Structure 1
């Protein structure tokens, strides 16, 4: 399977999974808000979390429930700068059926996971759909040129890295070739699609077939079907 097709499925799958998670998170928060009881809490401490390049602080809040139970919890949301000071009072919302289900009554505390998964899911799914569109348009152009295009033999000029594209620090190869139009005496340079391995050892000829749109050499397809990993 081609690399671009694998990426298409990965991004689409991750996007759908994140959007599904966003829907679940929205439902859970919405259900939680329907039954909560408000209370006043006090910031009594901070939990410090360290990642590879940043530090975040999550407030520890203590409050007393309606039945007199003293409850202490750590917020699920951390920030690089402390949003509260010790002994600050904050409004908390908790479930009367389970006082351990409690959140600080702030928008991002309540809706942050939903918003993050929604945005990330939309981004991943959009990238996946864009790749689907790009592949579809490319295959459609290729099919059209195979049916109605003019085949010419172009002279292979080089095998280059396409440094305009990078994935995990690696760039794909492309075959660069040129063809002199015998009618206009104009030299045309063509570049193949991205090839995620060095195709040099599979090139056994000095020329390569290029399919051109009749009367418009700017629309072309370099035929690399002889490369094993690009065969359908």
Structure 2
């Protein structure tokens, strides 16, 4: 796993330019990766016990996140949750420092504030970033929320399809991460969720049935508990993701209460 993380870090600049820029249409939000990640902390209406960190889509900056309705969705479901909007925009990915910077600048400082739970959520590019974080730092976070995540190029999805799905796909031995293999290795991490149900129980997925990335989503579904997948009407937009986020957190709270009651 250590070599995987190191190799992934080295190749991310190439990867993000070569494939993600091509796959995710629309203008990318600007940012200066030489500066700290822009963040906004929105404190909980009640005494905070949890933190939800939200990563943007490719076209989103901090103001777009503020206007997306995501904060209201989180805190109406979890009034004890602080929310950090983290503008981890394309330049951070392009330089191959996105995941490491997110951890050092946002996640680790949050640990010192004594939260009982820390969750990471991301839309589109941010959903991919959320998965990459988990690949680098497995099971470090209490929950992951993937909002229409970018899952790779058509050729990679076709390979999974041809194998009969991610569970039966032969990932082969781990490979050094290159511009040609990074998606393969990321799907290896997803396949790991099929083999580690406890890890998969931390992961939630939501997307619109008309989302332009929706064709890839069925190949992710076998890795996740069915009750943790929400499909909504609509496309690749916050008007789908923000309400779905509220539903996810309400369900997650109910699931946690059920587990606690069984103890």
**TM-score bracket for this pair, using the shorter chain length:** under 0.3
TM-score (norm 2): 0.18
Question: Whose radius of gyration is greater, 1 or 2?
Answer: 1
TM-score (norm 1): 0.20
